[in-house]
Chains A and B, each alone.
Chain A
Amino acid sequence: MSGLLEIWGTLPAYAQATFWILVVTVALILSVAFTTLWERKVIGWMQLRKGPNRVGSIFGLLPGIFQPFADVIKLLLKEVVLPSKANKWLFRVAPAITLVPAFAAWAVMPLDPGLVIADIDAGLLYVLSLTSVGVYGIILAGWAANSKYAFLGAMRSSAQVVAYEIAMGFALVGVVMAAGTLNLGDIVRAQQGGVGDWFFIWLFPLFVVYLIAGVAETNRAPFDVAEGESEIVAGFHVEYSGIAFALFFLAEYANMILISALTAVFFLGGWLSPFEGLLAADNALAKPGFHWLFLKLFFFLTCFMWYRATFPRYRYDQIMRLGWKVLIPVTLVWIAVAAVMVHFRVGPWSPN
């Protein structure tokens, strides 16, 4: 083991980075696969059903555990139908454009006290700019398919994403003011000192706004008018089939995982332990680590499913009203409050 570590230490930085990129990407793809299963299970339990339980089991336990693989194989073997009047090139590129940003944003995610692939100072801006690029895939998919329903879905989606991006950005302004940095790792470190120092307590309105805007940004229920299967069939991806459709599916779940992880980093102290300060420093539970980030991420991910099973879909004008007239004013007020708190050193933070 120590021999391996020695070899690892001699590797050049780019080789280590490539290794971690591979690990994160593979882990993400597997997580996305099992998130789909987890969603169907959770919603099944909420609706007093069993959910998928036919495909595979591990020694009789966890029935249905291999359902994601069955789904992937099915989708891979299906034909990708290309509509005859579609813009062929854009139609093929659009799914990839939605997928790439959802994965690329993980480059700056602080996964562990000592592990972040690219430790850059403008990390938060990088995440924001990448997530805002993802909407291109949706717009292009809707336009290139040359179908009325797809186009309607794309228009709805772009207006919605642009509106909620503002609320989301403003919510993050509060986080940046509190942490005094744009570096995601330093934002986590700024919340050190126990649960009382996590930003979700001091920036509670911004935390709620970020949660809501995150759901809207990922086009998830109750903000899924871009798909709106009862009105516009499946919205922007109505003409997609087979693995091209699967890519959109993958992107949606990858975005959910990303937003959950970001919420944990910005407001719940990322990889920090909730028992920090409560237990002795050498207690295993008080130590920071990736498992805490994972637990927080998993909680928010399950919340996404909970919303979907609970809330009816918003009407389009209600979505716009909520975004522009409720969320943005709330963030503006709390940014002012946060400014006062930072200035007079109320709260746990000390800028710089």
Chain B
Amino acid sequence: MFVQILFYAFSAVLIAAALGVILSRNPVHSALALVLAFFTSAALWLLIEVEFLAIVLVLVYVGAVMVLFLFVVMMLDINVEGLRSGFTRYAWLGALTALVVIVQMVSVYWVKGLGIDATQGAPPLPADYSNTRALGEVLYTQYVYPFELAAMLLLVAIVAAIALTMRRRPGLKAQDVAKQVAVRREDRVRIVKDVDAGGTGPGAGGGTGEGGAR
């Protein structure tokens, strides 16, 4: 009962947040609504005891992806009017997508009517069952090669993204830190012999010490 109340509460927030993503006029508000949507989805996942995926959803999407997203959205001066001018051109595509989603939802309900209850949750797991451990055991044994391949693919994508967007601007006065660290005293300071030593110059009274670096 309590779980059901939680489920409906989180679902309501999730739907409201999802609507906020597409209905908000301010792109920053949209991005924040998306953050809220991720959070509530994570809470829903916690309800079905997949705590690892829920936490990773928050860690990856909320903690990293959306921060960068927000970063970009705030920097850009997005012209909302310009974006909306072609809105009706793709209206048929949107309507089609909505129709497909509705058909999917109805079919889930239809399957339930046949007596095969696909919406029934899995039986509660024993208290010592660890989602994180179970996932790790499968991921690093049975699926280790696909996992490594995916990692390599991501690495290649990162390198490619940097290689494509990196531009070397001429005339930059950036410092070469290695050179700065490697510099020795002899490169910067030149000791000249004090010609005034013992003479009548302004440094006469101070002895030889004052005739140091010129």
Specify whether A and B are partners.
yes
Min CB distance B124 to A, Å, is 17
Closest 4 CB pairs of A and B: A132-B63, A129-B59, A129-B58, A121-B130
A124-163 CB mask vs B (1 if < 8 Å, else 0) is: 0110111011011001100100000001001100110110
Say if the beta carbon of B52 comes within 8 Å of chain A: yes
Residues of chain A contacted by B35 (CB below 8 angstroms): 136
Residues of chain A contacted by B133 (CB below 8 angstroms): 121
A125 to B54, CA, bound (A): 10
With known contacts A121-B131, A121-B132, A129–B63 Cβ distance under 8 A: yes
Say if the beta carbon of B15 comes within 8 Å of chain A: no
Say if the beta carbon of B197 comes within 8 Å of chain A: no
Please report A residues at the B interface, Cβ cutoff 8 Å: 90, 120-122, 125-126, 128-130, 132-133, 135-136, 139-140, 143, 151, 154-155, 158-159, 161-162, 165, 182, 317, 321
Q: Give the interface SS of chain B, mostly helix, strand, loop or mixed.
A: helix
Q: Determine whether the beta carbon of B71 is less than 8 Å from that of A155.
A: yes
Q: Which of B58, B64, B67, B132 contacts A139 (CB 8 A)?
A: B67
Q: Determine whether the beta carbon of B132 is less than 8 Å from that of A165.
A: no
A90 to B28, CA, bound (A): 11
A158 to B66, CA, bound (A): 11
A126 to B64, CA, bound (A): 14
Min CB distance A261 to B, Å, is 19
Say if the beta carbon of B102 comes within 8 Å of chain A: no
Q: Determine whether the beta carbon of A129 is less than 8 Å from that of B62.
A: yes
Q: Determine whether the beta carbon of B67 is less than 8 Å from that of A158.
A: yes
Could you tell me which residues of chain B, from 55 to 69, have a CB within 8 Å of some CB in chain A? 55-56, 58-59, 62-64, 67-68
Residues of chain A contacted by B71 (CB below 8 angstroms): 139, 155, 158-159
Q: Determine whether the beta carbon of B75 is less than 8 Å from that of A155.
A: yes
Apart from A132-B63, A158-B71, 8 more pairs, CB < 8 Å? A121-B51, A122-B52, A125-B55, A125-B132, A143-B74, A158-B67, A158-B70, A182-B132
Min CB distance B99 to A, Å, is 35
A261 to B174, CA, bound (A): 38
Task: Tell me how many residue pairs across A and B have CB atoms closer than 8 Å.
Answer: 64
Q: Determine whether the beta carbon of B28 is less than 8 Å from that of A143.
A: yes
Q: Determine whether the beta carbon of B67 is less than 8 Å from that of A136.
A: yes
Say if the beta carbon of B177 comes within 8 Å of chain A: yes
A139 to B73, CA, bound (A): 12
Q: Which of B59, B70, B74 contacts A125 (CB 8 A)?
A: B59
Residues of chain B contacted by A143 (CB below 8 angstroms): 28, 74
Cross-chain pairs A/B with CB under 8 angstroms, 9 sampled: A120-B51, A121-B51, A132-B59, A132-B64, A135-B67, A136-B35, A139-B74, A143-B28, A151-B74
Residues of chain B contacted by A159 (CB below 8 angstroms): 71
Q: Determine whether the beta carbon of B68 is less than 8 Å from that of A162.
A: yes
Min CB distance B5 to A, Å, is 16
A135 to B71, CA, bound (A): 11
Could you tell me which residues of chain B, from 21 to 42, have a CB within 8 Å of some CB in chain A? 28, 32, 35
A125 to B42, CA, bound (A): 13
Residues of chain B contacted by A158 (CB below 8 angstroms): 67, 70-71
A133 to B58, CA, bound (A): 8
Closest residue of chain B to A151 (Cβ to Cβ) is: B74
A139 to B74, CA, bound (A): 9
Residues of chain B contacted by A126 (CB below 8 angstroms): 55
Q: Determine whether the beta carbon of B58 is less than 8 Å from that of A162.
A: no
Closest residue of chain B to A125 (Cβ to Cβ) is: B55
A244 to B63, CA, bound (A): 24
B152-165 CB mask vs A (1 if < 8 Å, else 0) is: 00000000000000
Min CB distance A186 to B, Å, is 11
Q: Determine whether the beta carbon of A132 is less than 8 Å from that of B51.
A: no
Residues of chain A contacted by B174 (CB below 8 angstroms): 317
